[in-house]
């Protein structure tokens, strides 16, 4: 890390459309190497980290965790001339922040400091894109109720799904063989993420999943539609019927067919 102090600071002014101007002091220039971090402090002890990576920067700590722990709230705002900024507002100073926005004709686009707000933004951005973790989370909230749940991935091939749900507070386990003993504590969700094919082995896997699912739980299945073992909605519906599952919802997005199933005995 290299620090160059401006002594005395360079003073400059920023004119505003309302005739006011802001006076700023350029106090130091800091050059960070890869994986180097600086921490900024306020007089009351609040912290804010910036970390250099080989691809750029972590401009903030995690928006809804460490940043909140430092009593800072991230917010996306829109200023004049189609300029957008991310501001960090100290908790307890929201009224002062609102006054600043009003004076300078800046408006809040979205607060970015809670999981709910960030997931809402994620849902908007992914509304036309397939995301298995988002689809599972949405369906679980509607079918099982809000909160975190348990999920069993069978023959997992995509580690990012379990990792993402784990970050959301879910309990995620993995299993390779449905012939394993029945668990003492069944799962809320059993997941086959691009595992099943239109063959006898996959029918055995899907049929055996019932033993791992708690009463009232559901199975999530996602399959590719552009492989030699591709499903259509009709062939998948037939497979579900043969393995004693009822389809609650089935949808196709891009080259993925995904469905939510409940057992006919439930």
- Residue showing tokens 């009232």: 216
> Is 80 exceeded by the pLDDT of residue 64?
yes
Spatial contact of 245 and 220, defined as CB atoms under 8 Å apart: no
- Whole-angstrom CA distances from 263 to 36, 49, 174, 213 are 52, 49, 21, 9
Q: What integer pLDDT is reported at residue 266 of this predicted model?
A: 64
- Best CATH choice for the domain 129-263 from the list 3.40.630.10, 2.60.40.10, 3.40.50.150, 3.90.199.10: 3.40.50.150
CA distance 246 to 230: 20
pTM of the model: 0.59
The mean-pLDDT minimum among 11-20, 22-31, 33-42 falls in 11-20
- In tens, the pLDDT along 29-62 reads 999 999 999 999 888 888 899 999 999 999 999 9
Q: Domain boundaries in the chain?
A: 32-119, 129-263
Q: What integer pLDDT is reported at residue 127 of this predicted model?
A: 66
- Whole-angstrom CA distances from 235 to 112, 223, 247 are 43, 12, 13
Q: State percent of the chain over pLDDT 90.
A: 55
- Whole-angstrom CA distances from 63 to 41, 66, 70 are 17, 7, 10
Q: What integer pLDDT is reported at residue 125 of this predicted model?
A: 78
Range picked from 12-16, 43-47, 184-188 for highest mean pLDDT: 184-188
Mean pLDDT, residues 167-186: 89
């Amino acid at each position: 890390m290299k620090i160059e102090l401006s002594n005395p600071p360079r003073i400059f002014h920023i004119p505003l459309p309302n005739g006011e101007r802001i006076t700023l002091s350029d106090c130091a220039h800091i050059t960070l190497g890869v994986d180097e971090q600086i921490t900024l402090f306020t007089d009351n002890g609040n912290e804010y980290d910036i970390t250099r990576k080989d691809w750029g920067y972590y401009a903030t700590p995690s928006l809804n965790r460490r940043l909140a722990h430092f009593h800072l709230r991230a917010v996306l705002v829109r200023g004049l001339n189609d300029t957008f900024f991310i501001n960090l507002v100290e908790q307890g100073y929201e009224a002062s922040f609102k006054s600043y926005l009003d004076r300078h004709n800046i408006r809040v686009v979205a607060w970015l400091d809670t999981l709910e707000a960030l997931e809402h933004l994620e849902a908007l951005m992914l509304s036309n894109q397939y995301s298995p973790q988002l689809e599972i989370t949405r369906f679980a909230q509607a079918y099982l109720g809000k909160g975190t749940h348990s999920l069993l991935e069978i023959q997992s091939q995509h580690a990012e799904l379990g990792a993402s749900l784990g970050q959301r507070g879910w309990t995620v386990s993995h299993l390779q063989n449905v012939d394993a003993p029945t668990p003492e504590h069944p799962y809320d969700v059993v997941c086959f993420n691009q595992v099943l094919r239109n063959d006898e082995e996959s029918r055995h896997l899907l049929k055996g999943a019932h033993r791992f699912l708690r009463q009232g739980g559901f199975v999530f299945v996602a399959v590719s539609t552009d492989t030699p073992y591709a499903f259509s909605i009709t062939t998948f519906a037939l497979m579900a019927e043969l393995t004693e599952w009822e389809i609650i919802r089935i949808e196709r997005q891009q080259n993925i067919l995904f469905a939510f199933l409940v057992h006919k005995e439930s």
